[in-house]
A and B are shown apart, each in its own frame.
Chain A
Amino acid sequence: MDFELTDEHRMVQHMVREFAQREVAPVIKEYDRKQEMAPFVLDRMAELGILGICLPVRYGGQGMDYIALGLACEELEAVDTTLRVVMSVHVGLNSLGLLQWGTEEQKQRLLAPQARGDKIACFGLTEPGAGSDVAALQSRAVRQGDIYVLNGEKMWISLASKAHHALVVARTDPDAPDPHDGLSAFLVELDTPGVTTGDIHGKLGVRAGSTGWIAFQDTPVPLENRIGEEGEGFKIAMSCLDNGRYTVAAGATGLIRACLEASLRYAKDRHAFGREIGKFQLIQQKIAYMVQSYDAARLLYLRAGWMKNRGLRNTRETSLAKWFATDASFEAASQAIQIHGAYGYSDEYDVERYLRNAKGAIIYEGTSEIHQLMQAAYALEYRRDAPLRCELPPYDAATWQ
């Protein structure tokens, strides 16, 4: 067993931290208030290679491993959740899905421009009428010769209005005895006719990010953009979530760290009853819990990253990391506000934004309730992971170059 990060990991961590702290931290409050994405964010993340961090160099990526992806997400969310959301959808839910399920031709044609950051990618699973219950989704894709004709609406889609590519799951076989088997996955280029997108405003959190909708009206999708076989859509979506959830877990860990750091600063600075508030045991208890959840969340996501590097199936471990870290980050943010007193309740400090952002991650990529059901089902042996036709390739330094 080896708990040490490599030099490479430490340098990645440092580089991503520098970017987020230097370029985004100074302006994040302004964009959060405006409910707009800072215009330079995607371009800079592309330019610095962050958008292709863990993809093989031959597919346009930077050739780092899955742990580097997690560390980057931790650093990004320590500044703002919206930076990490970009990684969750562009890398976790979409690009790693193509790496896992795409053909060699699709990887060259569709994945490489994403890995280089020339094309921004999102993930369209949720619909107005179907969230947790994925198999209830209504979008239809009907095959007509060499194309599929796509109709339907996707809702709550991160980067909907910014992305060029969307990985979309739609129903191809309405008569499948098990509705899970009637779904297929498509990489839709969003400049195709019949696609409209828009942003949702008035969200509680993720305000400096884009969350929106994508509607398809008789949108033609070429056959060569179907990912996997017909009927594999549900499995593909779940694989994508194994990777997206990993980035959410790592990000939420960064959010806990941000809460802890803000609380430590404030507890030493603020005085009440003639001493710094850090001297009060009830304040110390809140800090102790943050330390506990930070370390536990970090170990959980790093274990999942290590399993990904080795090519071990990690659906259970990733779900556990995501569930724990997101719940713990909400609690940490709530307690950080408490430590800040009235000042924490205003957007003069960052902690109120942390709380609003933390709530989102308890809902997306599997609500906490869904993760609890999963964990219990594994423990009770009601659930077992069957091998997949395509597994996420293990990290191999040589083949990644």
Chain B
Amino acid sequence: MKIVVCVKQVPDSAAKMTVENGQVSWGEAPLVINPWDEYAVEAALVQKEAHGGDVIAVSLGGESAKEALKHALAMGCSEAVLISDPALAGADSQAVAKALAAAIRKIGDVDLVTFGRQAIDGDMGVTAAQTARILGWPALTLVSRISQLDSSSRTIQVERSVEDGRQVVQGKLPAVISVVKDFGEPRYPSFMGIRKASRANIPTWGLGDLGLAAPVSVVSWPKVENPPAREIKTEIIAGSSAQEIAEQLADKLLAEKVL
């Protein structure tokens, strides 16, 4: 089984995002592996443990994205590849998907590609589907469980978490899946993995290596702003009994049309 996991480097979820002159900034906050992508790594590693084979982590980003790849290696991935090219600056999700698809083809003989459900900075949640489209492979999104993976009959069966319940979906391999939190807590990096990751030599592939021309983004984002600061009023309700306080609270909530 050859599995690719796509991971993105994003600002820490605790970072305070601000917009300065139309540019998004996260100050001094550290960059980390996209938290959703840890579930994607976990899903890939579980399959590798069950069926044998390799898990290759791929990230598109600047040099710092190697940190996300090292995290994936420390968790147990066998190899990592960075896609980096100055011409990819400002890429939209379709351009990202094209580059990821080209890397997956270059790796060759890939059976399964796992993605996180979305990147916590871009929040598009579309890259998995777009990559599948470019590869011409089935896209099984929002997967909470891989119930079957059969490399001889080349089939995969998954459970999808949807708002009103669960769906069981079958597809053909090779396939692309995106993984949700219900999959189960991702493992911590192991010390052995950490040592391997810190010594790893991560190759960088540019557009030339992927046989791609500079992508033309079809989406741009001319305006980005922080949400307007909200006025918050705090009021403490006093009363002689819990009953009285609760009644007052209920009246206020009804008056404000909250309920």
A contact set with B: CB distance below 8 Å:
6-8, 11-12, 14-15, 18-19, 48-49, 53, 62-64
Residue of B nearest to A6 (CB): B198
Question: Is the pair A11, B197 in contact by a Cβ cutoff of 8 Å?
Answer: yes
Q: How far is the CA of A64 from the CA of B70 in the complex (A)?
A: 17
Residue of B nearest to A63 (CB): B195
Q: How far is the CA of A62 from the CA of B190 in the complex (A)?
A: 9
Whole-angstrom distance between the Cβ of A91 and the nearest chain B Cβ: 13
Question: Is the pair A62, B192 in contact by a Cβ cutoff of 8 Å?
Answer: yes
A11 contacts which chain B residues (CB < 8 A)?
70-71, 74, 189, 194, 197-198
Task: Indicate with 1 or 0, residue by residue over B66-77, a CB within 8 angstroms of chain A CB atoms.
Answer: 000011001000
Residue contacts A-B, CB under 8 angstroms, 7 given:
A7-B70, A11-B197, A12-B191, A48-B188, A48-B190, A49-B191, A63-B191
A12 contacts which chain B residues (CB < 8 A)?
191, 194
Task: Indicate with 1 or 0, residue by residue over B181-192, a CB within 8 angstroms of chain A CB atoms.
Answer: 000000011111
B198 contacts which chain A residues (CB < 8 A)?
6-8, 11
User: Apart from A11-B70, A49-B190, A63-B195, what 11 extra A-B contacts exist at CB < 8 Å?
Assistant: A6-B198, A8-B198, A11-B71, A11-B74, A12-B191, A14-B189, A15-B189, A49-B191, A53-B191, A64-B194, A64-B195
Rank and list the top 10 A-B pairs by shortest CB-CB distance, nearest first: A62-B191, A8-B198, A7-B198, A11-B194, A49-B191, A15-B188, A15-B189, A11-B74, A18-B188, A8-B194
B191 contacts which chain A residues (CB < 8 A)?
12, 15, 49, 53, 62-64
Number of contacting residues on B, CB 8 A? Answer: 12
B188 contacts which chain A residues (CB < 8 A)?
15, 18-19, 48
- Tell me the number of A-to-B contacts counted with CB atoms below 8 Å: 38
Q: How far is the CA of A266 from the CA of B50 in the complex (A)?
A: 48
Whole-angstrom distance between the Cβ of A213 and the nearest chain B Cβ: 34
Residue of A nearest to B188 (CB): A15
A63 contacts which chain B residues (CB < 8 A)?
191-192, 195
Q: How far is the CA of A6 from the CA of B194 in the complex (A)?
A: 11
Whole-angstrom distance between the Cβ of B65 and the nearest chain A Cβ: 14
Q: How far is the CA of A19 from the CA of B191 in the complex (A)?
A: 13
Whole-angstrom distance between the Cβ of A20 and the nearest chain B Cβ: 11
Question: Is the pair B195, A8 in contact by a Cβ cutoff of 8 Å?
Answer: yes
B71 contacts which chain A residues (CB < 8 A)?
11
Q: How far is the CA of A15 from the CA of B194 in the complex (A)?
A: 9
Task: Indicate with 1 or 0, residue by residue over B171-206, a CB within 8 angstroms of chain A CB atoms.
Answer: 000000000000000001111101101100000000
Q: How far is the CA of A11 from the CA of B189 in the complex (A)?
A: 8
A8 contacts which chain B residues (CB < 8 A)?
194-195, 198
Whole-angstrom distance between the Cβ of A50 and the nearest chain B Cβ: 8
A48 contacts which chain B residues (CB < 8 A)?
188, 190
Whole-angstrom distance between the Cβ of A273 and the nearest chain B Cβ: 18
Q: How far is the CA of A361 from the CA of B65 in the complex (A)?
A: 41
Question: Is the pair B197, A7 in contact by a Cβ cutoff of 8 Å?
Answer: yes
Residue of B nearest to A11 (CB): B194
Q: How far is the CA of A64 from the CA of B191 in the complex (A)?
A: 8
Q: How far is the CA of A53 from the CA of B194 in the complex (A)?
A: 12
